[in-house]
Amino acid sequence: MSVDVGGRSDMPRWDLDREPDGVQDADLHEQLVDMVLAVHGSETPERAVAAIAHHACLVVQAETCGLLIAAGPGHHDAGGPASGALPLALELELGEGPGSSAARGEGELFIVRDTTIDRRWPHWSTRCAGLGMRSVLSVRLQTPDRVLGSLSAYSPAPSAFSEFEAQAIGTFAFHAAVGLAAKVESATLVAALASRTIIGQAQGLLMSLDGVDPAAAFAQLREMSQAENVKLAVIAQRVVAERGRPAVFSTGRPDVVTPQD
């Protein structure tokens, strides 16, 4: 794992390839199992993110934790408890910080021993220290085939995280990323299936009302979608709810509203 450690040159170096002792390893394994079960049992990706942040805090003895989650090319959203999301919101505002650097693939693990000293991200460091957070661990969240974002842990004490905790968060992040990716894919699939179902219902209604075939009914839905500049599934929901075309489309085209003097 590539590690970027900030701070003074006289600070002791860490050997992150060293094997943890048996007690630490057992505790980490227990937290990994609990986290995986919690993520698997989460009803939504948002709850999965909250579960990951909670168990990450237990693994590294952090005050709070937060996640940056990829929400599109070059765009991330902050997730987790408000206390953990706030320093990450600063990163999104300022365009710099260890979590953002990890999410962008500039390194796997960033260690900030003291935000009042570390100047790699000068604007973020100053603001983060102002929030009372002095130590930070930020690690990339990735599976073998995709990068989901990053996980960051915070402490109000300087040099708060040990060698083992820096090593453990890397192991934790991999398992968390695998679980989160599965949850996101599952939620996407459920949403896609729900959209397909509602569109099919709307097609059936239009076929019954107008005596048209499936292709013509779908073309009508697409025309309404484009006219209102909303997603096809949204128009389909309105068709089903109103048991036919929305009122604005009752004449086969959107009504034209003439401004009154």
Task: With H, G, I as helix, E, B as strand and everything else as coil, classify residue 137.
Answer: strand
Confidence bin at 20 (pLDDT 50/70/90): very low
Q: What is the mean pLDDT of the chain?
A: 80
From the list 155, 142, 124, 143, the residue with the least C-alpha distance to 59 is 155
Confidence bin at 246 (pLDDT 50/70/90): low
CB atoms inside a 10 Å sphere around CB 252: 10
Residue with structure tokens 């220290």? 129
Task: With H, G, I as helix, E, B as strand and everything else as coil, classify residue 183.
Answer: helix
Q: Compute the distance between CA of residue 130 and CA of residue 215 in angstroms, rounded to an integer.
A: 60
What integer pLDDT is reported at residue 190 of this predicted model? 52
Angle, CA 69 vertex, CA 68 and CA 70 arms, to 5°: 125
Angle, CA 147 vertex, CA 141 and CA 149 arms, to 5°: 50
Read off the amino acid at residue 187.
A
Output the pTM of the full model.
0.68
User: Which is more confident, 39 or 158?
Assistant: 158
- Contact indicator for 240, 224 with CB cutoff of 8 Å: no
Task: Using alpha carbons, list the distances in angstroms from residue 203 to 131, 195, 222, 231.
Answer: 54, 12, 11, 15
Query: Which of the following CATH numbers is that of domain 188-249: 3.40.50.20, 3.30.70.260, 1.10.10.10, 2.60.40.10?
Result: 1.10.10.10
| Size (the chain), residues | 261
Judged on CB neighbours under 10 Å (0-12, 13-18, 19+), 20 is: middle
CATH of region 3-187: 3.30.450.40
Q: What is the pLDDT of residues 52-101, one digit of tens each?
A: 999 999 999 999 999 988 766 666 677 777 777 788 888 888 889 999 99
Which pair of tokens denotes residue 54? 């909670």
Map out the domains of the chain as residue ranges: 3-187, 188-249
Q: What is the pLDDT of residues 160-178, one digit of tens each?
A: 998 888 889 999 999 999 9
Which of 23-27, 36-40, 107-111, 134-138 shows the lowest per-residue confidence on average (mean pLDDT)? 23-27
Confidence bin at 182 (pLDDT 50/70/90): confident
Q: What is the pLDDT of residues 112-128, one digit of tens each?
A: 999 999 999 999 999 99
